[in-house]
């Protein structure tokens, strides 16, 4: 199924929050419970790092339209593979050989195992940035299992 345009923004995932809170808790334990020289410095450093990561660590993507959360996977290919990748994206994305790496093309996949959906789009490098060279395709996650291993 073809989607005209989807917008995804980076957002904080549950894993990011757990990492940040764990650093803050470990830092607090080191700084306040095991109060010794050197250990308290490490504790304060972990607390500061945890607070910084709460605001900066963003490893998932959110669909602006629906609010659903996705993960992102990228593959790079040589420009000469453009036509074969475009035809594979349109019909059977599992047939794409991700071991043939290169520069010039970038295949981006946004997938969610909980919603069992995936969005695939191919980008081409035109000096200084990547531009879309395909529409965004929506697939059931079972159709792209080999790509998101």
Element (H, E) at 102: none
Helices 39-56 and 14-28: angle between axes, nearest 10 degrees: 160
Q: 79-104 pLDDT, tens per residue? A: 999 999 999 999 889 888 888 888 88
Could you give the 3-state DSSP secondary structure of residue 54?
helix
pTM of the model: 0.82
CA distance 73 to 10: 13
Cβ pair 70, 103 in contact under 8 A: no
Q: 98-144 pLDDT, tens per residue? A: 888 888 899 999 999 999 999 999 999 988 899 999 999 999 998 88
């Amino acid at each position: 199924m073809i989607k005209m345009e989807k917008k995804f923004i980076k957002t904080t995932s549950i894993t990011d929050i757990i990492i940040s809170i764990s650093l803050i808790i470990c830092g607090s334990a080191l700084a306040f419970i095991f109060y010794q020289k050197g250990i308290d410095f490490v504790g304060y450093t972990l607390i500061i790092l945890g607070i910084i990561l709460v605001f900066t660590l963003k490893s998932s993507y959110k669909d602006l339209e629906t609010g659903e959360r996705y993960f992102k996977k990228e593959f790079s290919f040589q420009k000469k593979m453009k036509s074969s990748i475009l035809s594979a994206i349109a019909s059977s994305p599992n047939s794409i050989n991700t071991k043939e790496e290169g520069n010039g093309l970038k295949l981006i996949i946004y997938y969610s195992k909980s919603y069992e959906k995936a969005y695939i789009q191919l980008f081409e490098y035109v000096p200084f940035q990547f531009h879309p060279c395909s529409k965004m395709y929506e697939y059931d996650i079972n159709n792209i299992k080999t790509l998101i291993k």
